[in-house]
């Protein structure tokens, strides 16, 4: 049999080529793929910004002519922050 890498004549039962050291068969197991982890900073910043905007809208509702709109927006922002926070915790497990 001939080596696939260097072309040297090797024994039929050889596991590796004695000249170049290359394996004569394909590996049985493939290496595990490494996936890059997403940054945890982005989730923390998103939650912090949503909470700060919710707090700001809550304070703005005290002096606004129509406080209901600002209170609704503040509640929606805080709810979105909680959803993002819970999603990050659940996804980590």
Residues 70 and 80: their CA atoms lie apart, in Å, by 15
pTM of the model: 0.53
Q: Is 32 within the bounds of a domain?
A: no
Low-confidence ranges of the chain (pLDDT < 70): 38, 93
Name the domain count of the chain: 1
Q: Which domain holds residue 78?
A: 40-92
Please report the pLDDT score of residue 40 as a whole number. 74
Residues 42 and 85: their CA atoms lie apart, in Å, by 11
Please report the pLDDT score of residue 29 as a whole number. 83
Q: Is 34 within the bounds of a domain?
A: no
Structure tokens given for 26: 């394909």
Residue 16 — φ and ψ, nearest 5°?
-130, 155
């Amino acid at each position: 049999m001939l080596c696939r890498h260097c072309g040297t004549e090797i024994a039929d039962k050889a596991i590796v080529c004695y000249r170049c050291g290359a394996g004569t068969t394909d590996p049985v197991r493939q290496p595990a793929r490494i996936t890059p982890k997403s940054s945890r900073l982005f989730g923390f910043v998103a939650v912090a910004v949503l909470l700060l905007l919710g707090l700001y809208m809550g304070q703005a509702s005290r002096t606004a002519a129509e406080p209901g709109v600002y209170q609704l927006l503040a509640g929606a922002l805080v709810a979105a922050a909680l959803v993002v926070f819970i999603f990050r915790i659940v996804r980590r497990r």
